[in-house]
Amino acid sequence: IPDGWEILPGDANVYIGGKEPEDKQEVWIQKSENILPLTIISKTLDGITITNNQDGTFDLKGTATAEVNFSTMLKLGRDISLINGATYTFSANKYNLSHPYQVHLAFNKEDGTWLSTPVVLTTGPRTITLTIPPEAAYLQMVIRINSGYVMDLSGVGLQLQRGSMATDFAPKLL
């Protein structure tokens, strides 16, 4: 038995999954395929508020008075672990179908020049499969909302996982 672990008496009730159990399991082993860290900072831009819920999800609320772009740049090998040349699937768990938001992903070289045209995730439910370019040093992610769009979404989760199939959203594990 590893240090810090103990044997549970009787018939231990163990749960492995992405959501906290509700059936009084004694042990919960959280499972997630998500490798995308939620680096979004809560703020308001041009009428839209993005709120980091601290649980791997965010909210989008308000009416865009101009095109809104919430952007983050992730350094490969430091902020996110991706394997050059490998296939990944990107997905989102919620959409605003009457006024969809967009998520753009692009890969950049070390000097910041773009390696790929951004892949765009829009109305859903939708997933996109992508391959990491060999020279990639950064992954840029932009959440875009067009001017005039009304957003009222809670618990939006973005997921990037290895392989060509998307699983149900679960936040990245620390």
Residues 6+ positions from 4 with CB-CB distance below 8 Å: none
pLDDT at 27: 59
Residue 84's pLDDT is 85
Query: Model confidence over 47-104: pLDDT tens digits?
Result: 999 999 988 899 999 999 999 999 999 999 999 988 888 899 999 888 877 788 899 8
Average pLDDT, the chain: 84
Mean pLDDT of 151-166: 91
Distance of alpha carbon 161 from alpha carbon 91, whole angstroms = 9
Whether the bond into 125 is cis, omega within 30 of 0? yes
pLDDT digits (tens, 9 = 90+) for 130-152: 889 989 999 999 999 999 999 99
Number of H helices, E strands in the chain: 0, 13
Q: pTM higher than 0.85 for the full model?
A: no
Question: In percent, how much of the chain has pLDDT > 90?
Answer: 40
Give residue 45's pLDDT band: very low, low, confident or very high (50, 70, 90): very high
pLDDT of residue 160: 92
More confident site: 75 or 40: 75
Looking at residue 109, its pLDDT comes to 93
